Structure 1
Amino acid sequence: MYDNASIALYPENAIIGPDSFRQMAEHPNIHGIKASSGDLRLFHEYERIARETGGKAFIGNEKLMSKSISRHAVPSMANIFPQFCREFMDVIAEGSREQRREYQRCMDERGMRIYSDYTKIHGGIMYALKIRGICCSEPLGPDQELTCKEKKDIALYVSGLEDRMTRFSDQTM
């Protein structure tokens, strides 16, 4: 085991109970947990845990976005780069307008590539997670299968995005 290992979890097709969610959120090497159950009661429980653990738990579900944006809701990019998304939430809360715009621009620009112009969001997420060494399921449905070119583009963007986000975060925080 590594003392400094960073772990990102994306429990695809699974609902994590509050006790397990808390244990993972309190772990020092887990940057974030993104849960998208769509269950409003469970969302509020996760929200409470997120507040108690300093916002290390990420909540994301489009159906709940209007209620959750100020409560650590994050886009699907948090599955791939949870540390960046956590920093982005801090910038939204405390940063300058310029910092917010730069973080948003960085996320939007790369998101278009990873998600194949938003036509293969699930396929792009799963492939990017694998590139990052994060365990995940296979994309659901044949419409989410990536071409060789899409895979190559995603691999290039994910490696460049990781470097860009790390350098950007160091410069702005």
Structure 2
Amino acid sequence: MAFKPQGIIPPVITPLTDSGEVNYQVLRQLVNHLIDQGVHGLFPMGTTGEFYAFDDETFRKILETVKEEAAGRVPVYGGANHITTRGAIRLTKICEEVGVDAVSVLTPMFISQSQDELYEFFKTIAESTTLPIILYNNAPKTNVTIAPATAARLAEIPNIVGIKDSTGDMTNATEYIRLTRDNPDFHVLMGRDTLIYGALCYGATGAIASCANVAPRIAADIYDKFVEGDLAGSLEAQYRFAPLRIACGMGTFPAVIKEGLVMQGIPVGKCLEPIAELSSEEKEKLRSVLGGMELL
């Protein structure tokens, strides 16, 4: 399969109105803002987009809105995350109908699968579609991990083209890279914003970076400068980017991301309950971080 996931891909937040409905006008504004700032792809309905909060009809409309507004300028990756295999296939079919460029599939949540069960889960989904599939390991959120050996097995399936590693474990990410380095059709994306430069050095092809919603140009610089051979510039961009990711620990994810965008004048609203708004003290700390990054 020719599709290559690469560059900085923000998992796009889902803007909401005060009543908790999707604000499609602001979503379009955000799509253009991110593309204008140099990101290399867009990923609606990931963890940062609160994928768990929306029914199928809203899921479809969010994907359609991002796809339409992107207008082919960058690839669009749809999140198809569900606790069951048939549920993930249903969402993947919606992604296929909308015409996204690739699908990211998270490990099932809540249940604790064996590695053989994970292999069959992803294999069955891949066989149900012609879309490129990106495996998504977010063990800190799901308590389920895709072992490097399992990823290497799955990489042999033609339309499984990559994996996003949000474990924060660089050894795990580098094992993905080491075990698949002879497979030119499989690619590793970093999913921890503080580790993008290091992952690129090992051979990752990019990152799905939540903080790129707020600091898209800085995030894009990590990748662009690295590709250009400006390693010092890439590393400096990584250092500039890191404080925002660290600040995300102040609230329940993705509250800091949304508040950061609001502070920049993009009215994305709050997260859906039970995720709480940042406290006044936390907001001041975040404002200080964004000011230090020259983002306000």
What TM-score does the superposition give when structure 1 sets the normalisation length? 0.59
Q: How does 1:20-169 map to 2 (within 5 A)?
A: 20-23=68-71, 26=73, 37-38=79-80, 45=101, 62-63=136-137, 64-65=163-164, 67=187, 69=189, 72-113=206-247, 115-116=248-249, 120-162=252-294
Match of 1:171 in 2: none
Q: What 5-or-longer segments of structure 2 have no aligned partner?
A: 1-31, 36-41, 52-58, 82-91, 104-133, 138-162, 166-186, 190-203
The structure with the larger Rg is: 2
Q: Matches of 1:158 and 1:121 in 2, distance apart? A: 17
Given that residues 262 and 269 in structure 2 are in contact (C-alpha distance below 8 angstroms), is that contact kept between their aligned partners in structure 1?
A: no
Deviation at 1:122, TM superposition (A): 0.7
> Contact 1:8/1:33 (CA < 8 Å) preserved in 2?
no
Moved more, 152-161 or 95-104: 95-104
Shift in Å, 1:163: 5.0
In the alignment, which residue of structure 1 is the partner of 2:108?
none
Structure 1 residue 7: Cα displacement:
2.3
Work out the CA distance in 2 between the residues paired with 1:151 and 1:34.
31
What's the % identity of the aligned pairs?
17
TM-score (norm 2): 0.37
Structure 1 Cα separation of the partners of residues 293 and 78 of structure 2: 24
Question: How far off its partner does 1:151 sit?
Answer: 0.6
Structure 1 residues not aligned, in runs of 5+:
1-5, 27-31, 48-59, 165-173
Please state whether the residue corresponding to 2:207 is helix, strand or coil.
coil
C-alpha RMSD over aligned residues: 3.9
Instruction: Flag the structure with higher helix content.
Output: 1
Q: Is the alpha carbon distance of 1:163 and 1:61 closer, same or farther for their aligned partners in structure 2, counting shifts above 3 Å?
A: farther
- Structure 1 residue 7 and structure 2 residue 139: aligned? no
